[in-house]
């Protein structure tokens, strides 16, 4: 969903003016923010009633989080031997969390945005007493189902693979556009590239006319959003046949790119350019919709495609009587004046121009 604020257009103009060849991030240096990030990385104890949600995901002060319970009780030794026996961590406002809320049970709940997947656990072992250790706890299946993550709910045949292949890196990446602040990641992999990489990459992208070879978006005006990808994964194999020019959105969807997240501003730029260049017109099937839409909408798209009769418009602008764009939903059906949007506020915007709609959260709950 595009949020139209001065802040976003400022980002875009800054990029268009100066940031053509360099990747740079807009670090908002604010000591309070840094403190929140540090605390979250270590883990913050929280009451279930204080948990915030964003589109069904768990959130805390503009950040995506997960929730886990360190206390494994009498099973602690079993959990240390086999993480599958541990209490699952949660990534969504799932049924289990709702049950726990309803029971009003007192537990130590911890939220974090540390993505290693290794959790500090403890418990009272019947034989050896209090035990502490680390465990690679597993994800809650009700969370995956609720979000229809990668089609977990609607494509039962792929459930085992989705559960077994789950990584927090990939999960957080999927929803990176929904949060203002992104978690710290160990992405310092500069050394992996050859010394002349900057030059090789620039020349290669220029030879492709700054166009993504997957979705065909022309990024001449936002060159830092076009990457050079190594087909075989070997970052030293720079022969042209091994290189592919990909926009950051198509790039993050490649295998083994679990930590490549896209900011909300960058995704908006790409979707806007795709739209302006006619790449979102006349989509022929749901596969195309899934390939082009923001990945944060993947689960909800897979859910509605079972029942929707017509293909949606992806990122189509909705205008008011004066012809001003009031909102640009990721999924809309102009013929029916119906759209799926992020929240109640956006439902009101739809209503103001005579449209109806549903929030992502509501679609997921159905």
Count other C-beta atoms under 10 Å from residue 295's C-beta.
21
Helices 264-276 and 6-18, axial angle in degrees (round to 10): 80
143 binds Zn ion (CB under 5 A): yes
Q: Which two tokens stand for residue 156?
A: 């039962």
Task: Select from 242, 115, 127 the least CA-distant residue to 166.
Answer: 115
Q: How far apart are CA 269 and CA 274, in angstroms?
A: 9
93 binds Zn ion (CB under 5 A): no
212 binds Zn ion (CB under 5 A): yes
Q: Which is nearer to Zn ion, 215 or 262 (CB)?
A: 215
Sign of CA dihedral 291, 138, 304, 329: negative
72 binds Zn ion (CB under 5 A): no
214 binds Zn ion (CB under 5 A): yes
Burial degree of 131 (CB within 10 A; 0-12, 13-18, 19+): middle
The nearest distance, CB 341 to Zn ion, in angstroms, is: 24
111 binds Zn ion (CB under 5 A): no
The nearest distance, CB 174 to Zn ion, in angstroms, is: 16
The nearest distance, CB 1 to Zn ion, in angstroms, is: 20
* Interface residue with Zn ion, options 51, 80, 215, 331 (CB under 5 A): 215
Q: Which two tokens stand for residue 65?
A: 């989080």
Q: How far apart are CA 55 and CA 48, in angstroms?
A: 17
The nearest distance, CB 47 to Zn ion, in angstroms, is: 17
The nearest distance, CB 91 to Zn ion, in angstroms, is: 7
Burial degree of 63 (CB within 10 A; 0-12, 13-18, 19+): buried
The nearest distance, CB 255 to Zn ion, in angstroms, is: 9
211 binds Zn ion (CB under 5 A): no
Q: Which is nearer to Zn ion, 124 or 277 (CB)?
A: 277
Q: Which helix (H) or strand (E) holds 103?
A: helix 95-103
229 binds Zn ion (CB under 5 A): yes
67 binds Zn ion (CB under 5 A): no
Where in 250-279 is the site for Zn ion (CB under 5 A)? Answer: 250
Q: How far apart are CA 159 and CA 174, in angstroms?
A: 17
Where in 231-250 is the site for Zn ion (CB under 5 A)? Answer: 247, 250
Question: Of the ranges 119-127, 135-143, 149-157, 313-321, which one interacts with Zn ion (CB under 5 A)?
Answer: 135-143
Binding site for Zn ion (CB under 5 A): 90, 94, 96, 140, 142-143, 212, 214-215, 229, 247, 250
């Amino acid at each position: 969903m595009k949020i139209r604020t001065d802040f976003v257009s400022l980002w875009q103009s800054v990029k268009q003016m100066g940031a053509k060849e360099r990747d740079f991030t807009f670090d908002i240096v604010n000591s309070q923010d840094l403190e929140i990030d540090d605390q979250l990385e270590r883990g913050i104890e929280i009451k279930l009633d204080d948990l915030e949600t964003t589109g069904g995901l768990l959130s805390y002060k503009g950040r995506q989080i997960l929730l886990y319970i360190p206390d494994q009780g009498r099973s602690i030794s079993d959990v240390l031997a086999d993480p599958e026996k541990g209490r699952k961590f949660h990534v969504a406002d799932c049924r289990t969390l709702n049950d726990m809320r309803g029971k009003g049970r007192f537990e130590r709940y911890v939220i974090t945005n540390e993505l290693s997947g290794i959790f500090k656990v403890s418990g009272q072992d019947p034989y050896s007493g209090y035990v502490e250790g680390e465990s690679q706890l597993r994800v809650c299946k009700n969370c995956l189902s609720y979000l229809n993550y990668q089609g977990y709910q609607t494509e039962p045949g792929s459930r085992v693979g989705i559960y077994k292949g789950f990584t927090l890196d990939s999960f957080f990446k999927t929803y990176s556009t929904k949060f203002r602040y992104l978690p710290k990641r160990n992405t310092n992999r500069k050394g992996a590239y050859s010394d002349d990489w900057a030059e090789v990459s620039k020349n290669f992208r220029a030879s492709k006319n700054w166009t993504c070879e997957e979705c065909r978006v022309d990024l001449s005006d936002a060159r830092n959003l076009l990457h050079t990808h190594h087909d075989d994964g070997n970052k030293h194999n720079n022969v042209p046949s091994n290189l592919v020019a990909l926009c950051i959105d198509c790039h993050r969807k490649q295998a083994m790119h679990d930590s490549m997240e896209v900011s909300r501003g960058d995704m908006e730029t790409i979707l806007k350019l795709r739209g302006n260049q006619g790449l979102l017109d006349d989509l022929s099937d749901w596969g195309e919709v899934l390939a082009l839409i923001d990945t944060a909408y993947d689960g909800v798209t897979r859910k509605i495609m079972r029942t929707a009769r017509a293909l949606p418009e992806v990122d189509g602008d909705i205008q008011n009587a004066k012809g001003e764009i009031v909102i640009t939903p990721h999924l809309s059906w102009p013929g029916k004046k119906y759209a799926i949007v992020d929240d109640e506020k956006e439902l009101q915007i739809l209503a103001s121009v005579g449209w109806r709609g549903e929030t992502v959260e509501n679609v997921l709950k159905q």
